[in-house]
Chain A
């Protein structure tokens, strides 16, 4: 009997949304379970660290890792799984680009700890106890993973073979990815397992855009009633579609919400944030200097908005060079 390929699914600095997305395969998941042997999936099965450690190097055919790397435990597990796997798939926006959690890079570790353990309005911590990496209890040492001062993408820590972006990645792309691994029909190493074009390519609102777009006022999606057929950008609502890879099936757009950019930049763009900034400002039109400033000032938290999923992988945000994603 031929051994089924071993698959490990693990979460680093993640929210389990990616794992949920795999479950969303619904009935198809039964076929997946038939085809592969899932040796690790904390959200669904019990495991012990030693199970993995005792495996041979490269024994796992595919490790699907979601979540960013924020503490030393994440790094340790990422490195362990890399050692034991033939292929590593960076699964979801956090693993690929750092994800929403990456916005924490705008603050220092000190800022974060002060807020979470002392200054936030709902905190009750009269003795200002902060977590430590080590403490002594009954003569024994108890350790906690070290909280890094920076959020890293997966490929800044280990060598990554494939990327599947999205927050979370949609089930159909997941099924494609798993099938590709099982059948052995894989694209070149470093590829992103999603279409290559930006979102406007598949968005139904693109065809009805005016040929010359002019933004005279920035509107926030929750403050207006957006027309379900018009292009958001043409109406002055910030939509990151033009700077975001397609493949999600425009779920957000179809529910009349502009794209947030969770699929990251299209190939050939290293930083989606700044590129989008150039594109957006080029459409802003006003008669006077003051009006231009007013429009720009009305953009609330541009850094947070444009770098929502990609801060740790951006030009200014990254601490270490990431591996080059395919062109």
Chain B
């Protein structure tokens, strides 16, 4: 099929001059999105024949991101910055990744172990969520012996909060199990570091030379009103969203558990919607109440993704915006109703500071109250381990993630700052780099501060619109199976073709890696011939050809980071002042003509 394979000679250089397509800038781990888009667009349209190519692309993604199969279901941060957003719709990159994942997940069981040589020090990773897993993965590849200390009986951390109708359990378990197997990571379950005898110091005594702490934020926030805890949160029927989701993921909740019950979910974030839509699928008549408002242009807009809101609305979930909870009222020790004043402002210049209009208070009745207003870290342990500063925040260097109090400790993930799965993964990678520098006695910060510039959208005559969202009808969704239909092979190829390849060739090289081109030629402008007519500037779709004033002359130049070596400017130049250096098209043509 394709002539050559990605591994080998054609590697992608780390971003030179910090130029990347906006999707890759946005991705916390700077995945090679453009490259994989191009590779997908060049797959054969027969599934049997394409399988090889799909696995090749999967292998390539796996090298940088062993959890990519999961990302294909739950991430999509890149789409928020896609240049196509304003021109017809962002490239549905998450679905493209999911398409690869759907074939690759089955292959993961047979993927060969890396058989890594681990000759360097022992490192402990506390917490087996995405942050800890990525750190362990990266350190293992660098040759360290890593042990993950996981407090629960399974790895995955906050990923288990994601309901199965968004992330099938099989995808998650196969990704995690394969990661551990392929990389040969040692895992200790039910190991609570920081409690009892298993202290950080003990780990040091056992020979671990550095520790990455990514314990996450298991503790749910309690409901407060005016900075006071709302009473009676221990009534029967009141629960916390994260606890509820963990129990659902453990399979401990029977189907139709909430049938005939009115379920009230407090919270406006994505987790609250996960809770509400899960409760709905368990038969409950569900209402969401949140402080935030519906107006997307307001500073107080609801933080949940529009896709969640639309899905919830389709599934018959009622959303009451701009409502807080001032009282929880029970009857016979059971939850009965709540009082909800109108929230007129959620945040101001000081931060989170909800203001209410008490004269506009409604009472909402319900059998179940699920509080999903956020999660927090286990502060007590952090305090005891002397990892906080005088103000009570983490004493940490934000660039290296190294603790300012204990230099062998590194902290990241939700514990450091609540974010997305990809953010935790980035922290894991940052910590791995820091740990290697620390253990090797190298400078901790040199060359690490990276600021990327996003490339603009290329011009073209016609822009195409995005494909429609593909969800099964809401009445058919009352179960925990996936409701989103993924791409077929043809749809994936077509959507991947829509990608405009905004980013520089040096960070892509997809065409070289599969043998479509032998090399990328630089464009050379002959200063003796260029008269500054500007025709090349008008022709270049990538704004790579530019006009410059040098002394009194006007001359054209080429920005090699924007140039795609397509040759349009060479053809359009009426003075033959431009040339693709090293290009062999002319020779080929001459050879053919000579034989005519």
Residues of A near any B CB (own CB < 8 A):
196-201, 206-207, 209, 211-214, 241-243, 246, 266-269, 272, 275-276, 278-279, 282-283, 285, 287
Contacts and interface: CB of A to CB of B under 8 A. Distances in A.
A268 B576 contact: yes
Given A198-B575, A243-B575, A268-B577, A279 B535 contact: yes
A242 B574 contact: yes
Contacts of B574: 198, 242-243, 269, 272, 275-276, 278-279
Nearest to A283: B538
Given A211-B537, A242-B535, 6 more contacts: A197-B529, A197-B530, A201-B532, A201-B553, A207-B554, A283-B538
B539 A206 contact: no
A163 B532 CA distance: 25
Interface string B513-542: 000000000000010111111110111000
Interface string B556-596: 00000000000010011111110000000000000000000
Contacts of B533: 198, 200, 206, 241-242
Contacts, number: 84
Q: Could you say which of B530, B538, B573 has the most chain A C-beta atoms within 10 Å of its C-beta?
A: B538
A163 B523 CA distance: 31
A27 B128 CA distance: 96
A266 B534 contact: no
B497 interface: no
B243 interface: no
Given A206-B532, A206-B554, A279-B535, A268 B571 contact: no
Given A196-B528, A196-B529, A279 B534 contact: no
Q: Could you say which of B461, B535, B539, B574 has the most chain A C-beta atoms within 10 Å of its C-beta?
A: B574
A287 B547 CA distance: 27
Tell me the dominant secondary structure on chain B's binding face: loop
B427 to A, nearest CB: 43
A48 to B, nearest CB: 46
Contacts of B554: 201, 206-207
Contacts of B537: 211-212
Contacts of A214: 538
Interface residues of B, number: 24
A199 B530 CA distance: 10
B531 A201 contact: yes
A209 B556 CA distance: 14
Nearest to A266: B575
A283 B533 CA distance: 12
Contact of B531 (A200, A207, A213, A287): A200
A197 B531 contact: yes
Contacts of A287: 461
Question: Shortest 6 CB-CB distances between A and B: which pairs?
Answer: A200-B533, A201-B531, A243-B574, A198-B531, A282-B572, A242-B533
A278 B538 CA distance: 13
B532 A213 contact: no
A276 B533 CA distance: 12
A106 to B, nearest CB: 22
A207 B549 CA distance: 10
5 contacts: A213-B535, A243-B575, A272-B574, A279-B574, A282-B568
B532 to A, nearest CB: 6
B572 A279 contact: yes
Nearest to A241: B533
A283 B535 contact: yes
Contacts of B572: 278-279, 282
A282 B538 contact: yes
B237 to A, nearest CB: 62
A181 B45 CA distance: 70
Contacts of A200: 531-534
A246 B575 contact: no
Contact of A246 (B531, B568, B576): B531
